[in-house]
Amino acid sequence: MKFFIDTANLEQIKEAQAMGILDGVTTNPSLMAKEGISGDENVLNHYKAICEIVDGDVSAEVIATDYEGMIKEGEMLAALHPQIVVKVPITENGIKAIKYLSGKNIRTNCTLIFSTGQALLAAKAGATYVSPFIGRLDDNSTDGIKLIEQIVDFFNYYGYETQVLAASIRNTMHIIRCLEVGADVATCPLSAIKGLLNHPLTDIGLAQFLADHKRVNNK
């Protein structure tokens, strides 16, 4: 399973990249706003800065909601850097834009997926990724992991090449469950990625090893 970080924060992206486990980045307009990135030129420069930090795919989301606007923006984003994947919401215009962009060999990530039907339309339109939002489903009394499992199963059964990118991940258990059900990618906040490091027995074991070493070496 590939690991993407879900942030537009350059320091967090650098930190995850430095760990050597990062396969890509996802952003969205809210994450860009959280970093105070505004204005077309600043937004484009920020995406380029992210691409220079990581080796893998970087999702950059269109703001337009009309078909013409989506494809214009999508082509502009894709031209920025070869690592850019154009993120498009699952709407009727979004599906048409994904179909157009995939026909131009521009990779896409269909976002705001909350049902298998939406994932089906995105896959048929040629999306490179679909992004089902686990946490937001869980927040609304619906099993987000179950949706990941269903989409993985039906993509495998029918041979769709679209990758399942589990999004809206809140914690380490979401990541482990994504592994169990076969998600292709999990995009996670840095806190969840680093949370995977933690186990009290590791801390206790390391303290014991160091104490024993000190006992016989520093008499």
Window 101-130: residues binding ligand E4P (CB under 6 A)? 111
Whether the Cβ atoms of residue 151 and residue 116 lie closer than 8 Å to each other: yes
CB neighbours of 54 closer than 8 A, spacing ≥ 6?
13, 17, 22, 24, 25, 83
Pick one of 152, 187, 192, 193: the residue that binds ligand E4P (CB under 6 A).
187
Question: Contact with ligand E4P (CB under 6 A): which of 83, 93, 118, 131?
Answer: 131
Touching ligand E4P, residues 52-91 (CB under 6 A):
none
26 counts as binding ligand E4P under rule CB under 6 A: yes
Active site residue 87: yes
**Rg of the chain, C-alpha, whole Å:** 20
- Closest Cα partner for 193 from 27, 3, 23? 3
Residue 167 binds ligand E4P, judged by CB under 6 A: yes
Of the residues 87, 124, 194, 214, only one is catalytic, namely 87
> What region does 39 belong to: left with phi over 0, alpha with psi -120 to 50, or beta?
left
Closest distance to ligand E4P from the beta carbon of 58 (Å): 11
Candidates 128, 168, 185, 193; binder of ligand E4P (CB under 6 A) is 168
Q: Which residues pair with 188 in a beta bridge?
A: 5
Instruction: Verify binding: residue 12, ligand E4P, rule CB under 6 A.
Output: no
Tell me the C-alpha distance between 3 and 65, whole Å.
29
CB 117 to ligand E4P: min, Å: 19
Question: How big is the CA angle at 139 (ends 166 and 65), to the nearest 5 degrees?
Answer: 60
Active site residue ranges:
87
Where does this chain bind ligand E4P (CB under 6 A)? 6, 26, 28, 111, 131, 133, 135-136, 167-168, 187
